[in-house]
Structure 1
């Protein structure tokens, strides 16, 4: 099952492209679920991290490396799924990824050492990243330009329900069944998602697929990275993700261990950031159609950098206590809604004929940067929120500099954006 095609001519060429469809709520819901696998796989077990450390005889730094290990698999795996999906289609590629996710989740549930847990987390991540990267490419198959940015924001808003309730649900599972049960729940989620995937259409018809050898397709990443605008978009998202994963890895210990927040209440504080992301995505879906995704992206980066600096000051000085840290972290996390969809859309718009590869490359470098964010936190963890605060500040500033230094000069002139009409009307 795939999208119907239409034939049109342009300058003595015959172009086969999909007939524009208006996907129903069911297809969009499945895409949102696929986008949520990155957060589902991590947020559900965040409240269990201190207990996992005690159960496996590991310190906080080792348990935080389970997040870094996940990010290694998640970032590198995307580089393979992108070209594979451009050649063989989105749906079969995601299906194979979901099977790997189920196997990895079961392995995590059965692990009896931290090293085993890290290895199975990598397997889990390689599978999960297929759904995340390729669902974005599927949106690009269906929409273009600012409309694609709007739809990504809308889907991310729906997807954000998972991390919103994830830590709370994980806390309840932890209280009743222990931390291993959390990973068995993820096995069930993977099986259900696989069944749902098989009921939606393929968005990349055979006529639009890239049939060059996979080895050559992988080398195309070098061509993509030569475009400075792509580097600008990717760098913006990469710095943001590095800061966000320092936030994800650091807040359980900052809130629970340092400020003595009960583990079952951690999800409530973490959920504030998710609500902020959802509201920012709703706002973004309205603003991009009026101002263009580049201008909204720049505004989000300014707010991100400011909030990150305030977070570092609060974490280092203890100013305001718990809420002095929670509030700027809330603002920092919320800017994800103004940055992620716009940076991904901007990158894919530059190479629409390779949307799968660009989405995978963007995701790989963005999530790969999370390795450094969470990894640095594991190295410099000292029992206080201070290392987390300064890592987030560095990332927030880097996010802003990537946008202002690498995106086209015309983007910074009033009334103009990088996503011009010509930019958005490239054809396959």
Structure 2
């Protein structure tokens, strides 16, 4: 079944919603602080609460989706997200803000998980290329969402940001209701048995470890870079502009990776990407040991990591979920929960030693590089067996 352009846009919108909801209101923190008559800590806590909800909710929706079908579960999650977004637009107490942000996060976990399962379930022969088409677009979300938030907050007030999220939710609910419902699996196995099988699969576990550690390197950099640049004397506007090159690099990596996989196959491309990631990580580590006068000795090699990640994410996500076709949504939920957890740990490590951000960022990225290699070794122990099965052989050849 060949995917239509309209369906590709729909899946891309689902994949971007969580990032838009995370970042769109960030420029309105000061205005919200004044309206809620509270300190910056309470408003910032709403972001932490949201990330906790994202980490907790994804596995739940994955299990529910495999049990009740993708469309119905996705619609339920989107409705929950939409109702919470509408409530946030009219919140006037901090406890309401925190409670509704948590509920909003739980709701948005449904599209974050289920779109990946839908790709595996409906378009197995094209899944690699679909992931490679959508994931670079996801990289735009953290860059564009705050800009849209600034426009809305300056023109209509911070409440309008959540009204916009409500309208997005309504449109996606309507589009989801019009989808065919992928039937529930009706498997005799329990959730615990599914999770045990996933963790016991070297192909799945190794691929998820690669995804999580590559993402963790990104989070470590994003956490450390503002402090590193501030210590070097850069202004706030320069810090904001510094994120543009890596966004472009990530998107370029996604496109180049898509072309390269089609020409050379994902295994050969993956090895080259891990090598590129390793060289770039080593360059950042070396730079982190010196007294710098410019950010470029760190920024330039990190753009190489961004290129590698842009091409690597679709490969390892496709491998992880293709190895778990009996419960793709549960697999996607567990994968995303582990990715957020590992990335949060990397971010917390850098944040805890922010006074030495340059040094600790370099060390953390090297640790992530080691984790990436370990994941590759684990996944390749059963790789040949996994990809010589008739159905998978057909999938790989088609991709």
For the criterion TM > 0.5, the same-fold answer is yes
Aligned to 2:70: 90
Structure 1, gaps ≥5 residues long: 1-20
Deviations 1:289-330 (Å, cap 9, x if unpaired)? 233223322322222233234334445545252333332332
What TM-score does the superposition give when structure 1 sets the normalisation length? 0.78
Q: 1:251 to 1:316 in 2, by over 3 A?
A: same
Q: Which residue does the alignment assign to 2:144?
A: 165
Alignment equivalent of 2:20, drawn from 25, 37, 40:
40
- Please say if residues 242 and 369 of structure 1, whose CA atoms lie closer than 8 Å, have aligned partners that are also in contact: yes
1:194 deviates by 2.2
Map Cα deviations across residues 247-291 of structure 1 (whole Å, 9 max, x no partner): 34444555578654345x655432322222211111121222233
How many aligned residue pairs are there?
Answer: 392
Which one of the candidate residues 288, 310, 314 is aligned to 1:341?
A: 314
Greater helix content: 2
Asked if the contact 1:293/1:419 (under 8 Å) is kept, the reply is: no
TM-score, normalised with respect to structure 2: 0.83
Structure-2 change in CA distance of 1:67 and 1:361 (3 Å) = same
CA distance, structure 2, for counterparts of residue 130 and residue 173 of structure 1: 26
Inter-partner Cα distance in structure 2 for 1:69 and 1:375: 15
- State the partner residue of 2:117: 137
Contact 2:117/2:332 (CA < 8 Å) preserved in 1? yes
SS of match in other structure, 2:242:
helix
Aligned partners of 2:168, 2:220: CA distance in 1, in Å? 26
Asked if 1:400 corresponds to 2:373, the answer is: yes
Deviations 1:213-260 (A, max 9, x none): 7x8134311111111221110111111222223334444555578654
2:105 corresponds to: 125
Equivalent residue, structure 1, for 2:39: 57
2 CA distance for matches of 1:167 and 1:308?
A: 28
Query: Would the aligned equivalents of 2:232 and 2:293 in 1 still touch at CA under 8 Å?
Result: no
Instruction: Tell me, yes or no, if the aligned pair for 1:294 and 1:346 is still in contact at 8 Å.
Output: no
Matches within 5 A, 1:186-201: 186-201=165-180
Q: 1:132 to 1:324 in 2, by over 3 A?
A: same
CA contact (8 A) 1:284 1:337 kept: yes
In 2, are the aligned partners of 1:69 and 1:121 still within 8 Å (CA)? yes
**1:154, CA displacement in angstroms?**
0.9
CA distance in 1, matches of 2:308, 2:208: 16
Judge conservation of contact 2:3–2:123 (CA < 8 Å) in 1: no
- Find the residue that maps to 1:407 and give its secondary structure: helix
- Alpha-carbon distance in structure 2 between the residues aligned to 1:325 and 1:69: 31
C-alpha displacement of 1:384: 4.5
In structure 2, what is the Cα distance between the partners aligned to 1:107 and 1:252? Answer: 33
Aligned residue in 1 for 2:301: 328
Q: Greater CA deviation, 393-402 or 334-343?
A: 393-402
The verdict on how the C-alpha distance between 1:78 and 1:315 changes in structure 2, with shifts beyond 3 A counting, is same
In 1, distance between residues paired with 2:266 and 2:20?
Answer: 27
Q: Flag the 1:211–1:300 CA change in 2: closer, same or farther, 3 A.
A: same
Q: Which residue of 2 aligns with 1:279?
A: 252
The residue number in structure 2 matching 1:210 is: 185
Structure 2 unmatched runs, 5+:
none
**Match for 2:213 among 231, 239, 247?**
239
